[in-house]
Structure 1
Amino acid sequence: MDKQSFHLLAVDGGGTKTLAVITDSKGSILGEGKEGASNYQVTGKEMAIKALTASIQEALANVNVPNGGMIHFEKIVFALAGIDTLTDEIEVRGIVEKTIKQVGLSTEKLLVENDCLSALLGATQNKAGALLISGTGSIVFAHDGQGNFYRTGGWGYRVGDEGSGYWIGKEAIRSILKMNDGREKETILSKLILQEFGFKKVEDLYNWVYSSAYCVDDVSALTTLVEEAYKMGDGVSKGILDEAAEELTLLLETTIKKAGIAKEEFQLILQGGVIQNNHYIRDIVLDRLKEKAEKVKIIDTDQKPITFIIQRGLNLKWGL
């Protein structure tokens, strides 16, 4: 069977979904495949391999490459969540190698890196810049334009992700429990959240938190109720949003300070539902930032991370 060749395979693998795309040399998408989570810290290694393999096979099927065919790519980029330490890097490279073998891919140019870093470098074309993500989780990456990368946050919902949607939702639940104790003034926030879940009393909320039905995404979704309560004049909700803005500001300022770019021109990419859609938090963070980084250029885009990951692959100078 003749070997089929394509320019680029770009894979964006996260804690909830995986997207694999095949593009030509100009970045036009020829085929794509979607699958569930491929962050091995969430799914385990075997399930991560299955998700990566399935998404790539679907993308190949969309360009009429049958299973078992020989496929060559000029470049392959795996931009994956869960690469946070050297140990992670070793584990993920092993996962990628097994995936490539199972699918039957070949390439001379393979890049495996953290998904946030890949998106940042793709968006800024390797120039100085920072990426602030506040969605379900939160993290900041910065690049000094000279090949050095810096990260702050992103330690996950159990011990980190301050200022994220999950963190806001968790703080809202904590406040409701305090209200129930009498340690916090009773506010509309309690009523809104109990209604959202269909609970009649606070004890029902408490039982849900420690049940198997508890879900990070459901907690993160409470952010919209906190914002709604704030707009109704709820002081407790305002306090939660203020603290979230403070945490995100600290993440961002710490990272650009480490990168040494605060006084330089650099691009800041904003991604995630909280920082893009909650204008109260967004305005506080950006106003504070501009006090210390006057030359920052805000890049607020609805483009998906895969768009930047594709650019990362297309523009990467291999061997440098």
Structure 2
Amino acid sequence: MHEEYREQEQGSPGSDYRLVAGTDGGQTKTVTVLADLRGRCLGAGFSGPANHITEPGGPERCRRAVREALEGAWRDASRGRREGGMLEDFLVAAAYGMSGGNDAMASIIRSEIRASRGVFVYHDSFTAWMAALAGRPGIVVIGGTGSVAYARNHAGEEAATGGWGHLMGDEGSGYWVAFQALSAATRAQDGRGPATLLVEELPAVVGKRDLSELHGWIYSAAGRPQYAGLAAAVGRAAARGDRVALDLLATAGQHLADLAVTVARKLTWEEKPVLISYVGGLFNSGDPLLSSFRARIEQALGNEARVVAPRLHPVGGALLLALRAAGIEPGEQVLDQLEVTLPRVLERRQAQNPAAAGHS
């Protein structure tokens, strides 16, 4: 399930300035971060989604996304450096956590990226688990454009639930929340449902004047990532006390918790409470979702589970795996460096490029 799909060896870097690259490739965006071998993050780059390679134009979209994200991270990391050279001269290892990661995607990535000790591709649920729990046994729930839960116990056994996509499942995901919000807003507009601030917040979040204008955008220009991005309007409406939005976030939290509860029961756990963490833009929607998530898990599992905040951003899991590939076993000092420098680098780059924010 967390299979490392491909690996390549290409010699040794030609400088003491050695770097690793970690990438989180979701359905909305691709994020790459470069770090040194001490875990100090130096630069970040963003690009569009790299998944769905079976769709028309998918392989080229994947190539472009991974290339642009890495190039952006290199430009960011190179600010103020006097030394010359190409990134390939310094890149020791690169790890990719990709939504829908498989052999075909790994082959595409390897055709674009070179690193002296290898390029490694994993499913993003595994790198999210690595980031959230720093490799400790437990469960991670991803609430982004889609939704999935991944579990790994002390014996290295693993299980997953969810991840069925927007047409067959993904309850509690950004896409699902957006769909439910649009339905609630149109019912309110027609007088078929309760009044809600979603009528104004949904168009506003994508720069449209009203639901009619939003309707035209959805049916002509919006893809899955843009559609899922409408979930941000629910958080805004909830922050203003809108009951419909508050209830919707609470329901999403319950759906995401159900993923965790289900996958927890698929494995045997040597130690309890089982740690359950979470990643993905939807968990930034506010307290109503997270409180509902916690309450549902406590109701189902009681003292046998404990919800903990994620240690690192999802791209941090890929960085940890890249460091391991470079021969560095990340200890607390490396984790502390990542905890401090990774948010700083991402926040700086997102401030420069607000469009980079989204439900990964």
Cα displacement (A) at 1:40: 3.1
1:255-270 matched pairs, under 5 angstroms: 255-261=263-269, 264-270=272-278
Residues 1:59 and 1:278: Cα distance change in structure 2 (over 3 Å): closer
User: How far apart are the structure 1 equivalents of 2:196 and 2:28?
Assistant: 32
Give the match for residue 244 of structure 1.
252
Cα displacement (A) at 1:41: 1.0
- After TM superposition, the runs of 4+ consecutive aligned structure 1 residues lying more than 6 A away are none
Give the match for residue 66 of structure 1.
85
Whether 1:8 aligns to 2:8 is no
Cα displacement (A) at 1:113: 0.1
1:298-309 matched pairs, under 5 angstroms: 298-301=307-310, 303-309=312-318
For residue 312 of structure 1, the aligned residue among 321, 328, 331 is 321
Whether 1:283 aligns to 2:295 is no
The answer to whether the Cα contact below 8 Å between 1:76 and 1:111 also exists between their aligned partners in 2 is yes
Cα displacement (A) at 1:167: 1.7
1:164-313 matched pairs, under 5 angstroms: 164-179=173-188, 184-189=192-197, 191-193=199-201, 196=204, 197-199=208-210, 203-213=212-222, 215-228=226-239, 231-232=241-242, 234=243, 236-261=244-269, 264-291=272-299, 292-301=301-310, 303-313=312-322
* 3-state SS, counterpart of residue 38 of structure 2: coil
Query: Gaps spanning 5+ residues in structure 2: where?
Result: 1-11, 328-360
Q: Could you give the per-residue CA deviations for residues 200-252 of structure 1, whole angstroms, max 9, x where no partner exists?
A: xx5555444322257325422221244246x24x3x44543343233112211
Cα displacement (A) at 1:158: 4.1
The answer to whether the Cα contact below 8 Å between 1:123 and 1:311 also exists between their aligned partners in 2 is no
Give the match for residue 86 of structure 1.
none
Residues 1:218 and 1:121: Cα distance change in structure 2 (over 3 Å): closer
For residue 68 of structure 2, the aligned residue among 50, 54, 65 is 54
CA RMSD of aligned residues (A): 3.3
Highest RCO, 1 vs 2 (Cα 8 Å, sep ≥ 6): 2
TM-score between both structures, scaled by the size of structure 2:
0.70
Give the match for residue 77 of structure 1.
95
Larger radius of gyration: 1
For residue 142 of structure 2, the aligned residue among 117, 130, 133 is 133
User: How far apart are the structure 1 equivalents of 2:97 and 2:229?
Assistant: 26
* 3-state SS, counterpart of residue 43 of structure 2: strand
Moved more, 190-199 or 31-40: 190-199
User: How far apart are the structure 1 equivalents of 2:237 and 2:153?
Assistant: 36
For residue 45 of structure 1, the aligned residue among 39, 56, 59 is 59
Give the match for residue 19 of structure 1.
31
* 3-state SS, counterpart of residue 249 of structure 2: helix
Residues 1:240 and 1:262: Cα distance change in structure 2 (over 3 Å): farther
Cα displacement (A) at 1:286: 0.8
Cα displacement (A) at 1:169: 2.3
Cα displacement (A) at 1:38: 4.6
* 3-state SS, counterpart of residue 245 of structure 1: helix
Cα displacement (A) at 1:180: 5.1
User: How far apart are the structure 2 equivalents of 1:195 and 1:12?
Assistant: 29
Cα displacement (A) at 1:98: 0.4
Amino-acid identity (%):
22
The answer to whether the Cα contact below 8 Å between 1:119 and 1:305 also exists between their aligned partners in 2 is yes
Cα displacement (A) at 1:285: 1.7
Give the match for residue 115 of structure 2.
105
Residues 1:300 and 1:66: Cα distance change in structure 2 (over 3 Å): same
Cα displacement (A) at 1:303: 3.9
